[in-house]
C-alpha cells in the first residue's frame, strides 16, 4: 500500500498519495517549481494512521490555470434589473511527488545554526546605529539657536465698500 495524507490548502482539504494530480487554489510559483504542503491533517498507510506532524507532502507545479467559467446572474422581477457577470477562478495544478516521514530534521538543524550566528550580529548592528543616532541629535540641538516665535500676520484688508464708507 502507498502512503496517503489529507492536506489543507486554500481552505479546502484534499486526500493525496504519491503520483496524484490535483487542482488547488492558486499558489505562488511557476511551472516546474516544487512546493511543500505543510498543513497535513492526517496521514496513514492502508488502514493504519501515522503521526501527521512528522509527515511532509511535496508537490510539483504542473501549470497555473483557470477553472471553468461560472455565470453570476442577478435579476429582480418587475424592476427591469438584470446583471450578468462571469468568473473564472485561478487554479494551480499539482503533481504529488512524495508523501512520507521525511519532515526535514537535518534541514531544521542546519537552518537553526545560521540564525543563531546571525542573531548576535543583528543585536550589535542595532546597538551601534542607536548610539550614532543619539550623538548627532544632541550636537544639532546645541548648535542650533532657539527658534523665534512666529511673527503676527498683518491685518486683513478691508473690502472696497468699507473703504469707501471710511473715507466719507
Residues 14 and 34 in one domain: yes
Say what the pLDDT of residue 118 is.
Answer: 47
Say what the pLDDT of residue 109 is.
Answer: 34
Say what the pLDDT of residue 2 is.
Answer: 84
Say what the pLDDT of residue 46 is.
Answer: 86
Range of the domain at 37: 3-103
Q: How far apart are CA 113 and CA 162, in angstroms?
A: 82
Residues 87 and 58 in one domain: yes
How many helices (H) and strands (E) in the chain? 2, 10
Say what the pLDDT of residue 92 is.
Answer: 97
Mean pLDDT of successive 10-residue segments in the chain (168 residues)? 90 95 95 94 90 92 96 98 97 94 44 45 50 54 62 70 67
Residues 116 and 66 in one domain: no
- Predicted model pTM: 0.55
Amino acid at each position: 500500500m502507498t502512503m496517503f495524507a489529507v492536506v489543507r490548502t486554500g481552505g479546502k482539504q484534499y486526500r493525496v498519495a504519491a503520483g496524484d494530480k490535483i487542482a488547488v487554489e492558486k499558489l505562488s510559483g511557476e511551472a516546474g517549481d516544487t512546493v511543500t504542503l505543510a498543513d497535513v491533517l492526517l496521514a496513514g498507510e492502508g488502514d493504519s494512521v501515522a503521526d501527521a506532524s512528522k509527515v511532509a507532502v511535496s508537490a510539483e507545479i504542473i501549470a497555473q490555470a483557470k477553472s471553468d467559467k461560472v455565470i453570476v446572474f442577478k435579476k429582480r422581477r418587475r424592476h427591469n434589473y438584470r446583471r450578468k457577470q462571469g468568473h473564472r477562478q485561478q487554479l494551480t495544478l499539482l503533481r504529488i511527488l512524495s508523501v512520507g516521514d521525511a519532515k526535514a530534521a537535518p534541514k531544521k538543524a542546519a537552518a537553526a545554526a545560521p540564525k543563531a550566528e546571525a542573531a548576535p550580529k543583528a543585536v550589535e548592528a542595532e546597538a551601534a546605529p542607536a548610539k550614532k543616532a543619539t550623538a548627532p541629535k544632541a550636537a544639532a540641538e546645541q548648535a542650533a539657536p532657539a527658534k523665534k516665535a512666529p511673527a503676527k500676520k498683518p491685518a486683513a484688508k478691508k473690502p472696497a465698500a468699507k473703504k469707501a464708507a471710511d473715507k466719507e
